[in-house]
Chain A
Amino acid sequence: ETGVTQTPRHLVMGMTNKKSLKCEQHLGHNAMYWYKQSAKKPLELMFVYNFKEQTENNSVPSRFSPECPNSSHLFLHLHTLQPEDSALYLCASSQDWRGRTDTQYFGPGTRLTVL
């Protein structure tokens, strides 16, 4: 349960604000992921990092900017968001993104509300 932590758990921001979401994994994994979960929609993969290198950018708007300083930490920088960006943002990690049977371990998520 505490293998992947996310902060903050809840965030309310205006459209002109700049904020950052933080994710930390304590599992010794090499791959980290950002997902967006909107109500009644499937999880959407946003970004994948493997060994600190971005390997996937799933056509995400530039108002979302990821940063992966090391294999244990992942950030999602937010600026000039829109109300439709309100969602649960989930971070996950796995041993190696190339492992097709790799299990992803998810954090508890950050509930983001954009006013």
Chain B
Amino acid sequence: KNQVEQSPQSLIILEGKNCTLQCNYTVSPFSNLRWYKQDTGRGPVSLTIMTFSENTKSNGRYTATLDADTKQSSLHITASQLSDSASYICVVSGTSGTYKYIFGTGTRLKVLA
């Protein structure tokens, strides 16, 4: 069964600290993996997208890694800011004939001053 699991479910850190969010998936065959940021009351916004051949991609203070062999991805946030408080969603696409995204349940991050 195609699944995407994220950990931790929630995380609280102090402003300025770094953190890493995890995503494990069982989607096969694999096409790409995306990380989205969703602020409360808003739609998700794409942060990064990685295909099979890419193992790291950065977007400002956000760096995503991908290990297609172990089917794991991480999102590292450097020097966190209050505005980083949001849910971070991992989404995996397969290469099967039906076009589908498999969404994780997200990690809710709270950055405290």
Total A-B residue contacts, Cβ distance less than 8 Å: 54
B103 CB → nearest A CB, Å: 4
Let me know if A108 and B99 touch, CB within 8 A.
no
Let me know if B46 and A90 touch, CB within 8 A.
no
Let me know if B43 and A97 touch, CB within 8 A.
no
B106 contact set on A, CB distance < 8 A: 42
Query: What is the total number of residues of chain B having a CB less than 8 Å from a CB of chain A?
Result: 24
B21 CB → nearest A CB, Å: 15
Let me know if A108 and B43 touch, CB within 8 A.
yes
List B residues 30-63 near A (Cβ within 8 Å): 31-32, 34, 41-46, 49, 51
Let me know if A92 and B43 touch, CB within 8 A.
yes
A24-67 to B contact mask, C-beta < 8 Å, 1/0: 00000000000000001111110010000001101000000000
Let me know if B49 and A48 touch, CB within 8 A.
no
A103→B34 CA distance, assembly (Å)? 9
Let me know if B46 and A98 touch, CB within 8 A.
no
A46→B32 CA distance, assembly (Å)? 21
B93 contact set on A, CB distance < 8 A: 100
Let me know if B51 and A42 touch, CB within 8 A.
no
A74 CB → nearest B CB, Å: 14
Let me know if A109 and B42 touch, CB within 8 A.
yes
- Which one of B42, B46, B99, B104 contacts A42 once the chains associate, using CB atoms below 8 Å? B104
The reply to whether the CB of B4 lies closer than 8 angstroms to some CB of chain A is: yes
Which residues from chain A sit less than 8 Å from chain B, CB to CB? 4, 40-45, 48, 55-56, 58, 90-92, 97-98, 100-101, 103-109, 111
